[in-house]
Structure 1
Amino acid sequence: MTESYERVPYQEAARLLLRESILGAVHDLLLERDWSKVTMTDVAAMAGISRQTLYNEFGSRQGLAEGYALRLVDRFVDAVESAVYAHVGDARAALVDGFAVYFHASAEDPLVRSLRNGAAKPDLLRIVTTDSAPLVARASERLAETFRRSWIQAPEADSSILAHGVVRIALSYVSMPPASDRDDAQELAALLAPYVDIVTRV
């Protein structure tokens, strides 16, 4: 029996590849220098595209940072989703695993390090605070779907509440990392797991 695959239209696939190449270029540049010293010209040159193409895709330097942040939250959702499916029936273990992977990845990410270190960067801080609505909406929608479709089988309203809470908590750690003298992943799991257990039994 031949398996069927959903085809991605060429233009959409090409655009996704372009965005990934650009964000990869940002990542590589941030390994060499602080965000304050990264220019659109630098990014275009690193990605092998014109400045006009870069501006057409992201609009501005702030738009580029927001695009990078969206990729970061997508990876957080991927981590939580993988943890949920790896720990069937064990909400606490899934949450510990998901948060722990996220904390480690955030600490290693060059844009997050740039935000946390050196001079204050109001443009980056706004993305994860006052202007974080796009990040929260995207991550919450994806996580809520995971909570509904996985073994948790959460009702729609409960999956939305849980996803929104998890995402808002996770974003708060971007600008302020976990305390060195506490196990934040364990503590957050202890706080949230009882709610997961309740909605799983509904």
Structure 2
Amino acid sequence: MLAATLATMAPTNRIPFQQATRTLLRDSVLGAMRDLLSVKDWSEVTMTDVAAGAGVSRQTVYNEFKSRQGLAQAYALQLADRFVGAIEDSIYGNAGRPHVALVEAFTTFFQQSASDPLVQSLLTGEAKPDLLRLITTDSAPLLDHASGRLAETLERSWIQASPDEAGILSRGIVRLAISYISMPPDSDRNVAEDLARIFVPFIEAIVGTTEA
């Protein structure tokens, strides 16, 4: 009887140990990479440096990320997650106010991008085609990941977009945002406001249809 009671009390949504360990490893390695980029240019950062910074072996980093380019891509995906997280926070924090939500989200993204060491490395010094490919010719994983996650928020939040509407809106938002990484907004333009004005009518139409 006691055993049965304890069994029903046991949590059912535990993260498997291997998954939790891998997440911790990736976060540690990517954090070490960020720290290195704050003092070194990307061209000078090696897998050995990153491994040492994370306190793991070089082989462990290779096993997880496969290559230096794979490491950069994982970092870029983490950056995309932060962008989507900013949009999610803005959407849920500004129910019924799509314009305010999008201006806040884009503003946060531009601020985060401008201060990110990998983005700074991309924009300074010698040309870095390997980094540029991550947001141009090899950007499919980044776009798919960010737009897929954003689409879920657009469906579940007060916007209540259909899967088709959420897909259109999320892809448009993510693609435009990513395009500004390699060419940051001009200081004399309120680009967050400009982008919000593009997408707000679509959101208002979705909300209006839902309320009807």
Q: What is the TM-score normalised by the length of structure 1?
A: 0.97
Amino acid at match of 1:109: D
Q: Does 1:7 align with 2:53?
A: no
- Output the aligned Cα RMSD: 1.2
The match for 1:124 is 131
Q: Which residue, 182, 185, 199 being the options, matches 1:192?
A: 199
Give aligned-pair identity as a percent: 57
Q: Distance in 2 between matches of 1:26 and 1:106?
A: 16
Q: Distance in 1 between matches of 2:120 and 2:178?
A: 14
Q: Distance in 2 between matches of 1:102 and 1:4?
A: 36
Indicate how the Cα distance of structure 1 residues 87 and 4 shifts in structure 2: closer, same or farther if over 3 A, else same.
farther
Q: Distance in 2 between matches of 1:5 and 1:101?
A: 36
1:118 Cα offset (Å): 1.3
The match for 1:21 is 28
Q: Which residue, 105, 109, 122 being the options, matches 1:102?
A: 109
The match for 1:161 is 168
Where does structure 1 lack aligned partners over 5 or more consecutive residues?
Answer: none
Where does structure 2 lack aligned partners over 5 or more consecutive residues?
Answer: 1-8
Aligned length: 201
1:45 Cα offset (Å): 0.7
Q: Distance in 2 between matches of 1:79 and 1:89?
A: 17
Q: What is the TM-score normalised by the length of structure 2?
A: 0.93
Amino acid at match of 1:102: F
Q: Distance in 2 between matches of 1:154 and 1:23?
A: 34
Amino acid at match of 1:10: F
Larger Rg: 2
Which structure 1 residue ranges, 4+ long, deviate > 6 Å from structure 2? none
1:25 Cα offset (Å): 0.3
Q: Distance in 1 between matches of 2:205 and 2:30?
A: 39
